[in-house]
């Protein structure tokens, strides 16, 4: 049995940055908005979880609606993941995903999956993912069955994040992003290349 604390995507709570606590607020907001109905989420609850004052949350991110929009925004992650020519996009996506997970101690996409376990109000987060990730990828793909192929590519990306989070002390944790891409990226590339 492990220690009961995951570093990705819900890390053991670190001390808030002495300067700002910005990262702690974002992590707390992600947990709150993916796990609870929107109506039940409060700035005060997020602040308590992050170990900062409610006014600091508002100072950094604005009010609840603005904070939700920040948390639900997959646009920057998608832009970075998709920023490569089609011929090498599969490998670029895998290497970028693994690198970002390790740098941020958080997965850039996986939070959308947590929202599936919540029966209420999580459709906003899902809709945002679909627009910013799946539809954006569909628009990039040539050939037939673009929507299906984009959904399956999104599946490969979400699955990579899921398995690295689940086996956080496993073989994937010791592998380089490049080696993971050697094993995992051909799946994505063949869906990209399929005519």
- What whole-number distance in Å separates Cα of residue 55 and Cα of residue 35? 23
Closer residue to its own copies in complex, CB, 58/114:
114
Least gap, CB of 59 to its own copies (angstroms) = 25
Closer residue to its own copies in complex, CB, 120/178:
120
Least gap, CB of 25 to its own copies (angstroms) = 16
Least gap, CB of 60 to its own copies (angstroms) = 22
Closer residue to its own copies in complex, CB, 56/134:
134
- Length of the chain, in residues: 195
- What whole-number distance in Å separates Cα of residue 102 and Cα of residue 121? 30
Q: Which parts of this chain interact with its own copies (CB under 8 A)?
A: 1-6, 9-10, 12-13, 31, 34-35, 110-114, 116-124, 126-127, 129-130, 134, 145, 147-149, 151-152, 154-160, 162-167, 170-172, 175, 180, 183-184, 186-187, 190-191, 194
Cα 41–Cα 116–Cα 177 angle in degrees, nearest 5: 105
- What whole-number distance in Å separates Cα of residue 50 and Cα of residue 13? 8
């Amino acid at each position: 049995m492990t220690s009961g604390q995951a570093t990705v995507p819900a890390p053991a709570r670190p001390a808030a940055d002495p300067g700002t606590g910005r990262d702690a607020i974002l992590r707390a907001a992600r947990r709150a908005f993916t796990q609870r109905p929107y109506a039940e989420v409060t700035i005060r609850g997020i602040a308590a979880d992050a170990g900062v004052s409610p006014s600091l949350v508002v100072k950094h991110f604005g009010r609840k609606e603005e904070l939700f929009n920040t948390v639900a925004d997959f646009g920057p992650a998608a832009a970075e993941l998709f920023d490569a020519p089609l011929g090498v996009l599969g490998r670029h996506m895998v290497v970028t995903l693994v690198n970002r997970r390790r740098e941020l101690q958080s997965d850039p996409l996986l939070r959308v999956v947590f929202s599936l376990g919540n029966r209420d109000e999580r459709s906003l987060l899902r809709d945002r993912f679909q627009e910013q990730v799946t539809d954006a990828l569909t628009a990039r793909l040539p050939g037939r069955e673009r929507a299906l192929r984009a959904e399956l590519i999104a599946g490969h990306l979400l699955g990579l994040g899921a398995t690295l989070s689940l086996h956080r002390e496993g073989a994937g944790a010791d592998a380089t992003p490049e080696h993971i891409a050697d094993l995992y990226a051909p799946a994505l590339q063949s869906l990209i290349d399929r005519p």
